[in-house]
Amino acid sequence: MSADAESVASRFLNAILWGEHRQVWEMLSPTGREHVLEAGARRGLDPLQAQRLRLGTSPLDERDTFLTGLVHGLRVDFASVSLEDIHPTGDPVPSADGSFEIELECPASFGAGAWAAGSLTVSEVDGVWRIDRVHPLVSRSE
């Protein structure tokens, strides 16, 4: 089960890297999509548009524009490291709510070993691993 979760995490990072915007949206769990829409609302996303996105009734142009912005935002979140080099590491850590935390790391820019790059929260929805949250590590002092 945990190997699947890790491969989903890798696929998610790869989808961000290659701009596969619909794939990114499909890989988000309902919780993950809600987080994205909440973040959008804080930045002025129209509530009606958010509802259309939630229900999957958006016109294609509207959806693609939103998802393009989402991919760009995720790339910015990981801008301090090369997205291509980020990979899941270690065993997923279970949480009390049934989700799992997958640590991400990337090769160290200097010295040996690897640096933490953040984490992904994943959960199983209808037998498929989905992304709940993305926690990029934006500062080495965190």
Residues that bind another protein (CB under 8 A): 14, 17-23, 64, 67-68, 71, 75-76, 79, 83-84
Whose structure tokens read 């701009």?
19
Q: Which of 114, 93, 111, 127 is nearest to 135 (CA)?
A: 93
CB of 15 to another protein, least distance (A): 8
Three-state DSSP state, 136: strand
Centre a 10 Å sphere on the Cβ of residue 15 and count the other Cβ atoms it contains. 20
User: Which of residues 75 and 91 has its CB atom nearest to another protein in the complex?
Assistant: 75
If DSSP states are collapsed to H, E and C, what string results for 50-84? HHHHHHCCCCHHHHHHHHHHHHHHHHHHCCCCCHH
CB of 100 to another protein, least distance (A): 25
Q: Are 107 and 85 in contact (CB under 8 A)?
A: yes
User: Which of residues 20 and 101 has its CB atom nearest to another protein in the complex?
Assistant: 20
CB of 18 to another protein, least distance (A): 5
User: Which of residues 22 and 30 has its CB atom nearest to another protein in the complex?
Assistant: 22
CB of 99 to another protein, least distance (A): 26
User: Which of residues 50 and 70 has its CB atom nearest to another protein in the complex?
Assistant: 70
